[in-house]
Amino acid sequence: GAVVSQHPSRVICKSGTSVKIECRSLDFQATTMFWYRQFPKQSLMLMATSNEGSKATYEQGVEKDKFLINHASLTLSTLTVTSAHPEDSSFYICSARDFSRGGRETQYFGPGTRLLVL
Amino acid sequence: TQLLEQSPQFLSIQEGENLTVYCNSSSVFSSLQWYRQEPGEGPVLLVTVVTGGEVKKLKRLTFQFGDARKDSSLHITAAQPGDTGLYLCAGTFGGKLIFGQGTELSVKP
């Protein structure tokens, strides 16, 4: 089946540094990818929609200058957490939308990236 | 304002018991999905319900979509410790997949 990968799976960084997370669709092309954030024992909260070749659209309350998204190819979207602080520590999950299977849209999720900012 | 209201948010039961999780909205959805997520992993799709009144079964799990396509339920029969996890309902709204609050299920042996 379709696979979406994320790298790294976990990262620890110092406060003030920037961290880049990659999301790849491995066997299909995705013009649209999504980035979610999840705190412990909570649900997934949509942060932004990543569109190939154009600017990402951010949900209300999500700082676009803080969470930089780049979707430079049909199989790769990156999320960069700039000047990370301890409150940015969270589980970040991406998903990719696939239209190639019989015309029915399916959204596949990556395994997530655990970010810990010290 | 939560578009999808999921309840209960926490559920702790003994092995062998039955349970139902509800997902409600004031909006109509063309489809709703149910996911299961284990700690440290991404959510895994269990089922998609599309037609109002539809019932789908996946072994001991029964999913139902309301007639008006505003609500859905997940019923687990004879729960087992392996069913422990976070269950999430989700629906597409404005082209984006939005999740309910989730139900943290713990099944004790």
Q: Are the beta carbons of B104 and A41 separated by less than 8 Å?
A: yes
Q: Are the beta carbons of A42 and B42 separated by less than 8 Å?
A: no
Task: State the pLDDT confidence band at B93, using cuts at 50, 70 and 90.
Answer: confident
Task: State the pLDDT confidence band at A2, using cuts at 50, 70 and 90.
Answer: low
Task: State the pLDDT confidence band at A53, using cuts at 50, 70 and 90.
Answer: confident
A16 touches chain B (CB under 8 A): no
Dihedral sign of CA atoms A6, A7, A9, A12 in order:
negative
Residue of B3, B11, B37 for testing the chain A interface, max A β-carbons within 10 Å:
B37
B88 touches chain A (CB under 8 A): yes
Among residues A32, A92, A8, A24, which one has the least CA distance to residue B95?
A32
- The mean pLDDT value for A57-68 works out to 95
- DSSP annotation of A59: P
Instruction: Please name the member of A34, A41, A44 whose beta carbon is closest to the beta carbon of B43.
Output: A44
**How many residue pairs bridge chain A and chain B with CB atoms within 8 Å of each other?**
42
Among residues A106, A83, A95, A105, which one has the least CA distance to residue A38?
A95
Q: What is the pLDDT of residue A99?
A: 74
- Nearest residue on chain B to A112, alpha-carbon basis: B42
Give the mean pLDDT of chain A: 92
- The mean pLDDT value for B39-53 works out to 93
% of chain A surpassing 70 pLDDT: 94
What type of residue is B12? S
Q: What is the pLDDT of residue A102?
A: 61
pLDDT surpasses 70 at B79: yes
φ, ψ of residue A83 in degrees (nearest 5):
45, 60
- The mean pLDDT value for A89-113 works out to 85
Instruction: Please name the member of B40, B43, B102 whose beta carbon is closest to the beta carbon of A42.
Output: B102
pLDDT surpasses 70 at A104: no
Neighboring chain B residues of A11 at a CB cutoff of 8 Å: none
Give the mean pLDDT of chain B: 94
According to DSSP, the β-strands at B44-49 and B32-37 are antiparallel
Q: What is the pLDDT of residue A103?
A: 59
Q: What is the pLDDT of residue A105?
A: 73
